[in-house]
Amino acid sequence: AGSDVVAGLLSSPKASLARIRRGSCLRELGQYDEAEEEIEKCKIETEKIRKDNSGDVGDDDVYLEALAALATLRQAQSKYSEARMLYEEALPTARAEQGRHSALWVAGHIARYAEILRKSGEFALAEEHHREALDLRLSTVGQEEFSELEFSVSHTQLGCTMFAQGKVKEALEHHQKALSQRFNNLEFSHALVSESLNYCAEALNSIGRAKEGIPLGMHAVMIRKAVFGPTHPAYAHALSVLASCYQAVGRLIDAIDLQEECLDICDNFFSENHANLIPNLLNYGKMLQASGEIKKALKVFERAESIHKLNFEAGKNKRPLEICQTAIKELTAEVESSDGSIKGPDLEKITIPDVKSGGSPVIVITDIGKRLNDEYTFALLAALKDMNLMTPLAVIATTCPEKKRATLIRGVLDALGLPDVPVGVGSPGVTEYTLQSAEYARPSSCVFESGMDLMVKALRKSEDSSVQLVCLASLTDVAKLLHEHEDLFAIKVKEVVTIGSLKPLNHSKFVVPDGVSGDECDTAHATYVYERCQELKVPTFTISEILTEDLPFSSMIIEEISMTEHFVSTSVRDKSESAISALWKEANFPPNDPRRKILPAICDRNWFCRKFIGDEAVITEEDEAYIWPKVRTVLSHTPLAILSCVAAYRDTRFQWETKYVNSTPHRVTGLKAQRKKDAVGLVDADAMANELSMLIGYSFRTAMQNISG
């Protein structure tokens, strides 16, 4: 029976390779003991077989793979000396087999050895080997074995090696190449895409471009959480990179929250003195030091120093150790001079964006999440800011649940590269409305409880008659601002732009809201705002909701925008498709059918076609089952209000009716009485839809570093 077992081993290198792969999978899952047992056993058995059956090529290959797998495991355990010894036994064999194996196979072994060198602090030698691996991979261009994804591996590893040597711009170039290659060849939700997003964010932060790094870091966090789960170090690493980006833009409390989550994961996953803890401890120590928690920061740096000395030989990977020792010296002096007191962070400090770079200063009041594609409004805002046409000073979330809306807008702004735009909580309003939330809405310490105080601070910082106050929701907060700070309002506000409906301008010598638009034009507050603006000679611009009824912003445009793979764009697509499809089903049920839920009887199939598809649309049997591709118009009106703030668009894309009160113009577009042939509204609806599509898509692509082309 024993001889049969040996014979089986001798004839089954494939079975041995399968065990090695299983061990490697266990390593990826962090089950190091189980992985070691599997790989070590295979190595010992194969070593014995090679001695008994010298010259068998298959056994040599298995032994080489066992050595390589064991070396990689030792690297993961931060046992770098052992890992290097194992691979220095394996690599000469791999090189000798170059004629029998593919260039990619040999390149893979060279790169794995180079990674061990990088992890052990031998950066120059690691770079040399990674470049050799890249050259081998380049040699396969035009051959059947060629794979662009293999290039992405080399670019990623070279990027990490350059970064470790302080060559950050070169590192970023490599990581951007890898990201582009992976984006073009893999699903966006793939772990390798998240790896490249994460490294690009880290490099951008290191060259002073943290604002650009945050959207990429947020995507990396979301993907890694979905792929690896919330307890895996890959997810923790993404949290740490994002935390560093937040620290760089002044969001220190958010940074500390993320870094503490990262360290909790790592402490539970790795051994007590694992080398992978060092960079996370350094980040955390810097954050604590910046926040004034001196004693706590000192302990963190001392722990990092101790772990470094346990894992690296003298003179190896010196930079982290130097950072630790410098910080310990500084913090020790601070602790002694301050008698151990801890400085608390200044939670009251609010930084208002600088308007000197160009663009009209604007404060936006929003009930984001009330409509399906409200996020597009802020993608448009980000695009206009990038074009130096608009500078958002603050965004106020209003209408119950106002605090949840504030977390949603905070996440949206961060994901669009606007992490420095402060967000405040406004009034709850009279009625609670449904909130179309998303995964990127998360609690943040940088959401300010008093939206009113935030608006006041933003106005005080601004030049006289410069601020555009844009209200995309109920006018309650504008009315309160006027009532409590009328003098400041009159001096600083250039104009008020709002969504609403007015009585015909010839109805009265004043501009009067018609009071029929529900909470969005709350009668008492709206009347007060319009009255006071006319008395204070502050111009108003009113955008009617009906402007979008004939705007050909179709489902296909939403699909095209979602191809950027920005998670806000895909969320809007998913929410819109789901809601429109559900509405179509409800509209087709008989008037008294309970499956219509709260849909009024008047909102039937014909109503749906008029509103979303067009009166002349032909509905096929296929369309009946899936109506989404037929939808011709689905955009909410709020992006139009943002676009109307820019003079170039205001004068060329909109038609206005104007009434002068106290020699001050008050303009409205889209009055109901003028919707027909001589309507005052959009100059060219098709051109407007194209412009909006271009600007919104531009915003998402820019946030993603244009990886989608």
pLDDT at residue 273 greater than cutoff 70: yes
SS3 content of the chain, % helix, strand, coil (to 5): 60, 5, 30
Cβ partners under 8 Å of residue 683, min gap 6: 652, 653, 654, 655
pLDDT tens figures, 213-257: 999 999 999 999 999 999 999 999 999 999 999 999 999 999 999
- Closest by CA to 411, choosing from 695, 218, 698, 205, is 218
pLDDT at residue 52 greater than cutoff 80: no
Q: Give pLDDT, residue 57.
A: 56
- Closest by CA to 392, choosing from 360, 351, 362, 358, is 362
| Edge-first strand listing for the sheet containing 447-448 | 447-448, 423-425, 390-397, 360-366, 467-471, 493-499, 540-543, 664-669, 657-661
Give the lowest-confidence range in 103-112, 312-321, 398-407, 538-547: 312-321
- Closest by CA to 496, choosing from 547, 545, 454, 538, is 538
CB-CB contact of 49 with 59 (8 Å): yes
Q: Give pLDDT, residue 338.
A: 56
Q: Kindly state the average pLDDT of the residues 584-603.
A: 93
pLDDT tens figures, 134-167: 999 999 888 887 889 999 999 999 999 999 999 9
Q: Give pLDDT, residue 444.
A: 84
How far, in Å, are 380, 383, 388, 465 from residue 694 at the CA level?
A: 9, 10, 16, 31
Rounded CA-CA distance 594/179 in Å is 50
Could you tell me how far CA 655 lies from the centroid of its own chain?
37
pLDDT at residue 336 greater than cutoff 70: no
The string of DSSP codes covering 449-491 is S-HHHHHHHHHHHSPTT-EEEEESS-THHHHHHHHHSHHHHHH
Three-state secondary-structure class, residue 514:
coil
Q: Give pLDDT, residue 116.
A: 93
Residue with tokens 């980040």: 283
Q: Give pLDDT, residue 313.
A: 83
How far, in Å, are 3, 79, 120, 316, 321 from residue 313 at the CA level?
A: 47, 11, 9, 6, 11
Specify the DSSP element, H or E, that contains 219: helix 210-228
Q: Kindly state the average pLDDT of the residues 354-378.
A: 89
Q: Give pLDDT, residue 433.
A: 81
Q: Tell me the average pLDDT of the chain.
A: 89
In this predicted model, which residue has the larger pLDDT, 446 or 119? 119
Q: Give pLDDT, residue 495.
A: 98
Q: Give pLDDT, residue 339.
A: 47
Q: Give pLDDT, residue 217.
A: 98
In this predicted model, which residue has the larger pLDDT, 274 or 614? 274
Rounded CA-CA distance 524/483 in Å is 13
Q: Give pLDDT, residue 95.
A: 87
Give the model's confidence band at 348: pLDDT under 50 very low, under 70 low, under 90 confident, else very high: low
CB-CB contact of 279 with 320 (8 Å): yes
pLDDT tens figures, 644-672: 999 999 999 999 999 999 999 999 998 76
Q: Give pLDDT, residue 9.
A: 45
In this predicted model, which residue has the larger pLDDT, 368 or 318? 368
**For the chain, which residues make up each domain, given as ranges?**
2-233, 360-549+638-702, 554-630
φ and ψ of 429, to 5 deg? 75, -170
Rounded CA-CA distance 651/645 in Å is 10
- The two tokens of residue 164 are 């470790």
Cβ partners under 8 Å of residue 5, min gap 6: none
Looking at 2.60.120.330, 3.30.465.10, 1.25.40.10, 2.60.40.1930, the CATH number of the domain 2-233 comes to 1.25.40.10
Q: Kindly state the average pLDDT of the residues 549-577.
A: 94
In this predicted model, which residue has the larger pLDDT, 207 or 333? 207
Q: Give pLDDT, residue 54.
A: 58
Strand pairing class (423-425; 447-448): parallel
pLDDT tens figures, 630-640: 999 988 889 99
Give the model's confidence band at 519: pLDDT under 50 very low, under 70 low, under 90 confident, else very high: very low
Strand pairing class (657-661; 664-669): antiparallel
Q: Kindly state the average pLDDT of the residues 177-186.
A: 95
What CATH class has 360-549+638-702?
alpha beta
Give the lowest-confidence range in 260-264, 348-352, 694-698, 704-708: 348-352
CB-CB contact of 428 with 402 (8 Å): yes
Q: Give pLDDT, residue 480.
A: 96
* Alpha-helical segments (H) within 546-636: 555-562, 567-587, 605-608, 621-625
Q: Kindly state the average pLDDT of the residues 272-293.
A: 92
Neighbour-count burial for 270-297, b at 16+ CB within 10 Å, e otherwise: beeebbbbbbbbbbbbbbbbebbbbeeb
pLDDT tens figures, 378-398: 999 999 999 999 999 999 999
pLDDT tens figures, 314-329: 888 888 899 999 999 9
Give the model's confidence band at 680: pLDDT under 50 very low, under 70 low, under 90 confident, else very high: low
pLDDT at residue 677 greater than cutoff 60: no
- Closest by CA to 567, choosing from 555, 557, 577, 575, is 575
| Termini Cα distance of the chain | 63
Percent of residues, the chain, with pLDDT higher than 70: 92
φ and ψ of 188, to 5 deg? -60, -25
Q: Crossing angle for the helix pair 277-291 and 233-248, nearest 10 degrees?
A: 30
Q: Give pLDDT, residue 200.
A: 98
Helices (H) and strands (E) in the chain, counts: 29, 9
